[in-house]
Amino acid sequence: PHLFTLRVDTFFVIAIVIMMYTRCRVMRVTAAMELPQTVRKVTPKGRKLLAKVAELEEKTTGGILLPTSSQKRPTSGDVVTLGDGENFTLKEGETILYNKFGLGATDVLIQGELHIIIAEDDVIGVMPRSGATADDIPELRPVGDRVLLRVDVGDDVTSGGLLLSAASKEKPVSGTVVRVGSGKWDEEKGERKALKVKEGDKVVYFKYAGDTMETSSGEAYIVLHESDLLSKM
């Protein structure tokens, strides 16, 4: 009887998870702006782009990399069309990582498929290939004034020799620069402003900034704006 109860409970939990996932997918698609079936091509205005959203929202199988914070969920997609603006660093066909809660991001349904219109400045980075997984994070190319850091591992033991639990560990605020973006576009000067940090620099950053991600082996990385860096070490 205990085994039967366990199986029923397990089945119930699985059913709830599937129902919640399906509901989230439906709500997301419902919130998207559906274009007429006659529309097959969309060209965004200015320095915005159109990307086809990846199908799955799992960091290891669908090419979507979820951070530890539920309030900042980057997702991924393939660039379909660039806007009619100039000086894009992105190219059509590239797989991008972006934050779907960015200002101005708009979900659209084109021929029944979910796309997003988003400014290039709101793109976090470019993944090395379509269908990239969490293990490809170290190869991510940051966009604009963003930098990719490998996060320093927090101490497991206090200076007094006490073993810290996972919950009591202080969140790391330092890391090593893995890669930097090409710089933010300056509309007035008509050029990109080069970043002051470079690959290999050890830096300290604002504790609650950026989008944190992990590889399947547990290695932590974070992508943030250069302005969120507090100092070099």
- 203 touches 232 (CB < 8 A): yes
User: What is the Cα–Cα distance from 169 to 188, expressed in whole angstroms?
Assistant: 45
Distance of CA 130 to the CA centre of its chain: 14
For the ranges 24-38, 99-113, 132-146, the maximum mean pLDDT occurs at 132-146
Q: Smallest Cα–Cα separation from 74: which of 143, 16, 14? A: 143
C-beta atoms surrounding 87 within 10 Å: 11
Query: What would the DSSP string read from start to end of 12-32?
Result: HHHHHHHHHHHHHHHHHHHHS
Which pLDDT score, from 0 to 100, does residue 85 have?
A: 87
pLDDT, tens only, 17-29: 445 444 444 334 4
pLDDT, tens only, 122-149: 999 999 888 788 889 999 999 999 999 9
Question: Residue written as tokens 């699985």?
Answer: 14
User: What is the residue-averaged pLDDT of the chain?
Assistant: 77
Amino acid making up residue 174: S
- 24 touches 16 (CB < 8 A): no
Apex CA 117: angle with CA 114 and CA 118, to 5°? 130
Question: Residue written as tokens 């996932």?
Answer: 21
C-beta atoms surrounding 181 within 10 Å: 24
Residue 106 has pLDDT above 50, yes or no: yes
